[in-house]
Structure 1
Amino acid sequence: MERTIVPGKSELGAQHLEIVLDETARGVQSHYVPVTDAEKALNKRVNRKLDCFVLSLLALEFIFSATYVVLQPVMVVLARRVGVKYFLTVQLMIWGGLCMCHAAIRNSGTLIALRLLIGAAEAGFTQIGNYYMSTVYPKAELAWRVGLFSGMYSIAGAFSGLIAYGLLRLETPHIRGWQAVFLLEGGFTVLLGLLTLFVLPRRLGTAWFLTETERAHALYRMEVDLAGTQEEADEAKGTVLTRRDVVDVFTDWKKIGTVLCNITSVLPVTAFTTFLPLVVKGMGYKGNDATLMSAPPFIAGVIGLLIIVRSSDHFRERSLHTVFGMLLGIVGCIVMAVSDQNALRYGFSYVCMTGVFVGGPLLAVWLAGNTPWKGPGASCSGSMDGATSPALSRGRFLKINETPLIITICIMVAGACGLVFIRFMYQRENKKRAAEIANWDEQRFAAESASQVRRGDQRHTFMYGL
């Protein structure tokens, strides 16, 4: 007998319903999985178009991004309130315009003011992108996309460096090389803002690049993936972040714990992204050699990231994959801290970077998968990360870098242990819920789906992803 997962919505197909109910009964989080060959082909078409128009545009915009920590939560909330499509359009145009203004700088005061403003304009871009993708891709296909998106962080550094290297050689009576850099990068960012307005769909159901059949499938698979825990609200009401949304996040220790673990996982990313040339210099390399030697580990980081997130999607598992990446980072940091052989220390910087890029994307996906209600999900997406890492590589630690590495190791170990504990608690809760609903009848399931007391992952029919 078919069972309606959400009252008032179209019934799920018999095969999908059977999959959802079977996974729920086993205490496993439900995922959308295409069943027939025709559905698999349709699903691939939808993904290809989303990858082309959503993922590629967001990834291209990442080339000129640098997140400013303080305003991240505010920006993510605002993006949900006005719509990601319109928010990113305005954000990118302001961001690019401020970048172009750098070409007119004449004193240090103006420079400082512009850097503060551009930092505010950049805030939350990564988190907004991750949040948006979580609303259009099913959980089992999300980590790979978020990994590709986040991997642009490293590519951005190389790409921007190449542009700057060429333009800095430009000297004319009217414009100097450094001015050309700001004008080109700023102008391109403004162009991307305009493209966002015309290309990015506001909602999945209005995606202009999907056919009517593809739009219906895209919406249906998200309904299956959320298994009846999605919001039941009209468009206007659905974009409002309520007091309850915030309270739900800050009273759930598991979500707060995941956010804190996220900070520990991305700690070495920001540190090494900014200061790896100095770390390499401390190993005995100098000048241009230090700069050149710092580039290959980032390539290893992107490759490691893509391999691990691909595996994470395949096995539908987030926490242990994140811990594995953190362990690689810990091993690399330990050798870099204790060894006195420069070649060995440099070699293990590859090991370190292969793992440390994983934490941010996978924990963002894990958090999104375990927060199906959009309001709390937006609040979680705005979590602050990477705020402490630059401080660990400053001042007197630039020449003797063992101390910040040891501090980084201790923080990452604590984060890895925290993730294992949170996974255990999620697993325990899933078993408890599976036992509770084992003997529920049709009416009890329907009542739980319509409950106003419990919503999203609070509902006893929701199983947490591990």
Structure 2
Amino acid sequence: MASSPKQPDGMTKTDTIGIDEPNKLHGYASAPGVIDEVTRVVDHKAERRLCRKFDFRLLPILAIMYLFNALDKGNLGNAKTDGMTKDLNFKPNEYNLLLSIFFVPFVVFAPPFSMLGKKFSPARVLPILMFSFGSFTILSSAAHNFGGMFALRWFLGMSEAAFFPLVIYYLTTFYRRGELARRLAVFYAASNIANAFSGLIAFGVFQIKGSSLPNWRYLFIIEGGVTVLFAVFAFIYLPRSAAEAKFLSEEEKALAFHRIQVDSSAVVNEKFRFREAIAIFKHPTTYVFLCIEICLGVPLQGVALFMPQIVGGLGYSTVKTNLYTVAPNVSGAVMLLVLAFTSDWVKLRSPFIVLGFLLTFSGFMIYASIDDVPNNLQVAYFATFMMTWGTSAPSVLLSTWYNNNIAHEGRRVLLTSIGVPLANLMGLVSSNLFREQDAPKYMPALISVAAFGAAGACLAACLGFYMWMDNKRRDRRDGVTIQARDIPTERLRDGPSSPEFRWFL
């Protein structure tokens, strides 16, 4: 490797290109023979200013959007505690069927809707999806039988299918690989806050007295109505890309392009081509990632859908049950942020994913091992905290992990649009594990969910070890030690088949 290769306009690799020289950024990324500095040549202060703008302008809006997404998806459990199933004359196991049907369109429509999002920009498709699922939530308040609610849950699943995959892809067009986890964590923490907030909203709405309508109908009206209003605002506010962001100067737009070109995408804003995107399935690691998503999905959906029922097993009243779900979900959001920020700081994903799975396994096994729950309330309640700790972090870090290792934008959005819904599809498993005849302890469900957590930990550990070994092999072959973050993604379009490729662990 040359010690001081020349860059545009006679610069050496030790020079720093400032934000006041954007014309020099475009020629710099692919300088031959430059590895150590090529992805870190811009002014760090300028980058921090740019990231702060993205953080303040994009993350709060996306987090609120996802908060409403989680509210509208998960409010069925709160409505059930207020007597929805009795008011609609549900037969045995029809509630579980209602939970299950949501995940069929959720998985089927995620890839095509994600491709539409890639073509027309997530900034336009995401608010449209949000407007749709908000509208179906409002209509749920008018359902008068199981059939009506069943149909609405189908359309709700359709409209929410591509939401999370598109947000992940959208953020990869603004942030470097090593910056992504903590931003996704802030965004995804909205889901935990939503689960907590859902309990608070339900607690407040269920205090309404003297109404001619059951209170669970008001829950759907309030949450759906606010969702629809915010969707209109998001459609107007979100920029289609950094190049079209009105809050950036021309110099900042050039810097934003450079950052993504060298440390996120092989080709920025690349046109989606299905034949190229589907090549992601030629890599064996793709199937391991999908298997980990399956192992993640069962505990993730089990906690999201049945936390009120698990906490209800402690023997509290309906009102207190909804209130006592708040603290575990808030603590889950905090743990998610801690693990994600630490992961970005050390530039590692797999160890923290394994840790999350182990926390999940421990939480469910502790709860299952308690024979007399009412007499061991403190330990049982602490176990519910561990459940949320272990389901939140892996969901964000796993998506970040395989997005960090895919430079091709089309392959990235395709794998995300399959992997994330696949994890959510495991709601079909979770919703049939927590059977009414097993209440209030749900022992078979607790053990099954713990087993999925253990399997996920093993798969993530094995995949991380394989990547580490493969990186060492490539270093020995090339006679030089190279880290994944030091190679510009512009040269990694072909993935592991590229000689320069290194796995982002």
> TM-score, with normalisation over the residues of structure 1?
0.83
SS at match of 1:21: coil
Which residue pairs with 2:281 in the alignment? 250
| Alpha-carbon separation, structure 1, partners of 2:490 and 2:476 | 18
Q: Which residue of 1 aligns with 2:449?
A: 408
| Partner residue in 1 for 2:266 | 230
Give the counterpart of 1:312 among 311, 328, 343.
Answer: 343
Q: Deviations over 1:136-179 (max 9, x none)?
A: 11111111111111111121133344445445666899988655
Q: Deviations over 1:299-332 (max 9, x none)?
A: 2111111111110010000000111111122222
Displacement, 1:354?
A: 2.0
Query: Match for residue 26 of structure 1?
Result: none
Tell me what 2:131 maps to.
93
Q: Distance in 2 between matches of 1:277 and 1:179?
A: 18
Confirm or deny: 8 A CA contact 2:29 2:262 kept in the other structure: no
Letter in 2 for 1:296: A
| CA–CA distance in structure 2, aligned partners of residues 286 and 101 of structure 1 | 29
Point out the more displaced range, 131-140 or 346-355: 346-355
Q: Which moved more, 1:299-308 or 1:202-211?
A: 202-211
2:373 corresponds to 1:338: no
Other-structure match for 2:96 = none
Aligned to 1:465: 504
Deviations 1:269-316 (A, max 9, x none): 221222122223334445433333332111211111111111001000
Tell me which amino acid in the other structure corresponds to 1:11: G
Question: Could you say if the C-alpha distance between residues 34 and 48 of structure 1 is closer, same or farther in structure 2, counting changes exceeding 3 Å?
Answer: farther
Measured in 2, the distance between the counterparts of 1:286 and 1:263 equals 34
2:173 is the alignment partner of 1:159: no
| Percent of aligned pairs with the same amino acid | 27
Q: Which position in structure 2 is the counterpart of 1:298? A: 329
Does the CA contact (< 8 Å) of 2:435 and 2:442 recur in 1? Answer: no
Amino acid at match of 2:48: K
Match of 2:88 in 1: none
Q: Which residue does the alignment assign to 1:368? A: 403
The code of the aligned residue for 1:462 comes to F
Q: How does 1:4-15 map to 2 (within 5 A)?
A: 10-12=26-28
- The separation in 1 between residues aligned to 2:384 and 2:26, in whole angstroms, is 52
Query: What CA deviation, in whole Å up to 9, does each residue of 1:341-396 have, x standing for no partner?
Result: 34322223223322321110000100100011011101111121132333222243
- Match among 49, 67, 71 for residue 63 of structure 1: 67
1:22 corresponds, among 36, 51, 65, to 36
Aligned twin of 1:149: 187
1:119 counterpart residue number: 157
Deviates more, 1:185-194 or 1:369-378: 185-194
Are the counterparts in 2 of residues 249 and 256 from structure 1 also a CA contact under 8 Å? no
**AA aligned opposite 2:388:** M
Q: Which structure 1 segments of 5+ residues have no match?
A: 24-29, 440-447
Could you tell me which of 240, 253, 266 is aligned with 1:215? Answer: 253
Instruction: Indicate if the aligned counterparts of 1:72 and 1:123 stay in contact, CA closer than 8 A.
Output: yes
Cα distance in 2 for partners of 1:349, 1:177 equals 27
Equivalent position to 1:347, from 377, 382, 397: 382
The alignment partner of 2:267 has SS state of: coil
Q: Distance in 2 between matches of 1:173 and 1:412?
A: 44
- Residue of structure 2 in register with 1:442 after alignment: none
1:240 has 2:272 as partner: yes
**Separation of aligned partners in 1, 2:216 and 2:382:** 34
Distance 2:329 2:308 in 1: 11
Shift of the 416–166 alpha-carbon distance from structure 1 to 2, 3 Å rule, reads closer
Partner of 1:45: 49
Q: Deviations over 1:12-57 (max 9, x none)?
A: 379x999x7138xxxxxx9x5576xxx2322222112211222111
Q: Does 1:138 align with 2:176?
A: yes
Which residue, 328, 333, 337 being the options, matches 2:359? 328
Structure 2 counterpart of 1:356: 391
Structure 1 window deviating more from structure 2 (318-327 vs 106-115): it is 106-115
Per the alignment, residue 443 of structure 1 pairs with none
Aligned equivalent of 2:86: none
How far did residue 127 of structure 1 move? 1.9
Instruction: Supply the distance in 2 between the matched residues of 1:84 and 1:215 (Cα, whole angstroms).
Output: 19
Give the gaps of 5 or more residues in structure 2: 14-23, 74-102, 481-488
- 127, 135, 148: which is aligned to 1:110? 148
CA distance, structure 2, for counterparts of residue 411 and residue 41 of structure 1: 44
What letter corresponds to residue 155 of structure 2 in structure 1? L
- 1:396 maps to 437
- Given that 1:266 and 1:359 are in contact with CA atoms closer than 8 Å, whether structure 2 keeps it comes out as no
d(CA) in 2 for partners of 1:134, 1:84: 11
Q: What is the distance in 2 between the residues matched to 1:282 and 1:171? A: 27
Counterpart of 1:244, as a letter, is: E
1: CA distance, partners of 2:317 / 2:208? 27
| Alpha-carbon distance between aligned partners in 2 of 1:457 and 1:285, rounded to the nearest angstrom | 53
Residues 21 and 336 of structure 1: is their aligned pair in 2 closer, same or farther, counting only changes over 3 Å? Answer: same
How large is the RMSD of aligned CA atoms in angstroms?
3.2
Structure 2 Cα separation of the partners of residues 218 and 133 of structure 1: 12
Structure 2 counterpart SS, 1:96? helix
Q: 1:54 is matched with which residue: 32, 54, 58?
A: 58
The CA distance in 2 between the partners of 1:219 and 1:199, in whole Å, is: 21
Check 1:212–1:355 CA distance in 2 against 1; reply closer, same or farther (3 A cut). Answer: same
With the length of structure 2 as denominator, give the TM-score of the two structures. 0.77
Q: Retained in 2: the 8 A contact 1:34–1:43?
A: no
Aligned residues, how many? 436
**CA separation in 2, counterparts of 1:244 and 1:397?**
48
Paired with 1:175 and 1:334, the residues of 2 have a C-alpha distance of: 41
Return closer, same or farther for 1:276/1:125 CA change in 2, 3 Å cut-off: same
Distance 1:49 1:99, change over 3 A: same
